[in-house]
Structure 1
Amino acid sequence: MSLRMAMAKLLKKLRFSASHAFSSSTVTTNSLPVSFSGKRLSHWYQTGEYGWRANLRDPCLWIVISGHVVVTLGISANTAFAEDVTSETSSANSTGDDLTGLRKIEDGSVASNIHTAKWRVFTDKGRELFLQGKLDDAERLFVAAIQEAKEGFGEQDPHVASACNNLAELYRVKKAFDKAEPLYLEAIKILEESFGPDDVRVAVAVHNLGQFYVGQRMLEKARVSYERALKIKRRVLGYGHSECSDTMYQIGMVLYLQGKERDAETIIKESISMLETGGEGESFVCIRRLRFLSQLYLKSNRLDEAEMIQRKILNIMELSKGWYSLDTVIAAESLALTLQKSSETKQSKELLERCLDVRKALLPCDHIQIGANRLHLARVAMLDCSQYKESDVSRAKAELVMAKDHLHNSIRIARQCLDKVLKQKDKSKKNSVRGNSRKESQAALVILLQSLSTLASVELAKQELQKIQEGDINLEAQEALLQCIAAYNEFVIHKKSIVDSPEIKNAYLSCFKHAQTLLGNKLDERVSKS
Structure 2
Amino acid sequence: MFLRKAAVSLLRRVRLPSQSVSASASRPATATATAFPFSLSSKIKFPYHIGYGSSWSTGQADPPIWIILTGQAAIILGININPVLADDESIQTSSESDVQGANIVGLRKIEDGSVISNIHTSKWRIFTDNGRDYFLQGKLEEAETFFLSAIQEAKEGFGERDPHVASACNNLAELYRVKRAFDKAEPLYLEAINILEEAFSSEDIRVGVALHNLGQFYLVQRKLEEARMCYERALKIKGRVLGRGNLDYADTMYHLGTGWNSLDTVVAAEGLGLTLQSSGSLKEAQELLERCLDARKTLLPEDHIQIGANMLHIARVVMLNSNQLRRMHVSDAIAELDKAKGLLNNAIRIAWQVINKLKRQSKKQDYGVSGENGRDGHAALIILLQSLDSLGLLEINRKELLESGEKLLSTPEAKDAHFECISAYKEFATEMLMSDSREVKAEYLSCLKHLSSLIDAEGTKQYRGTTLQEFKDEIKRVEHDISSSKRRKN
What TM-score, normalized by structure 2, do the two folds share? Answer: 0.48
For CA contacts below 8 A with separation 6 or more, give which structure has more relative contact order. Answer: 2
Larger helix proportion of the pair: 1
What TM-score, normalized by structure 1, do the two folds share? Answer: 0.45
